[in-house]
Chain A
């Protein structure tokens, strides 16, 4: 089965600083999804990447899927307290109706 490893596990950054979260897969990624989860709540969709080399941006968040399609990164520019939460990467589970297999998440805290 596919495993997704996220790094770092947790991150504390000062407001205004940039940061990067990585997601490494044990197998080729055919669909990679980034979600944000606020503590004790559901998952909010951020971005979906499907093609090797693909890069997408939304506001101050940029996600990339590397050419070999086994790693993705999420980059936040000029972090704000509203960026705090848990960031999860997810990948399609074959033969499971497009269900997702998730990494354990990266917990982000942004300090003033």
Chain B
């Protein structure tokens, strides 16, 4: 029944070692988002795809990249993770305005 699926749920990486987080959806929504949520803070939008159009938030570090090979899948690539990148990463989808559906998140630890 899960509609937005994030893998893995927990990811441990080493400082500077590239890591990829994945997200898939069964809702056929045209918009997909990646949010970063640090402990006790609000989720912060990193970027979103509107169909195939990639939109980066102005303050998203260059270290973060994303790919959306098709409607169902979206990936978050962190090229050189730093200690400050340890956080929960949330993938979400929506069909234009209306309810946004979130995945369960991937908790990233950087050692």
Residues of A within 8 A of B (CB): 4, 31, 33, 35, 40-45, 48, 88, 90, 92-93, 96-105
B104 on interface, CB distance cutoff 8 Å: yes
Q: How far is the CB of A10 from chain B (nearest CB, A)?
A: 10
Residues of B within 8 A of A (CB): 4, 6, 31, 33, 40-43, 45, 48-50, 55, 57, 88, 90, 92, 94, 96-105, 107
Instruction: With CB as the reference atom, state the residue of chain A lying closest to B107.
Output: A40
Contact assessment for B107 and A96 in the assembled complex, using a CB-CB cutoff below 8 Å: no
Q: B100 to chain A: which residues have CB within 8 Å?
A: 33, 45, 90, 98-100
Contact assessment for B104 and A42 in the assembled complex, using a CB-CB cutoff below 8 Å: yes
Contact assessment for A97 and B48 in the assembled complex, using a CB-CB cutoff below 8 Å: yes
Contact assessment for A96 and B55 in the assembled complex, using a CB-CB cutoff below 8 Å: yes
Instruction: With CB as the reference atom, state the residue of chain A lying closest to B30.
Output: A97
Which residue of B45, B50, B90 has the most chain A CB atoms within 10 A of its CB atom? B45
Instruction: With CB as the reference atom, state the residue of chain B lying closest to A40.
Output: B107
Which residue of A40, A43, A45, A102 has the most chain B CB atoms within 10 A of its CB atom? A43
Q: How far is the CA of A19 from the CA of B49 in the complex (A)?
A: 38
Instruction: With CB as the reference atom, state the residue of chain A lying closest to B48.
Output: A97
Q: How far is the CB of B21 from chain A (nearest CB, A)?
A: 13
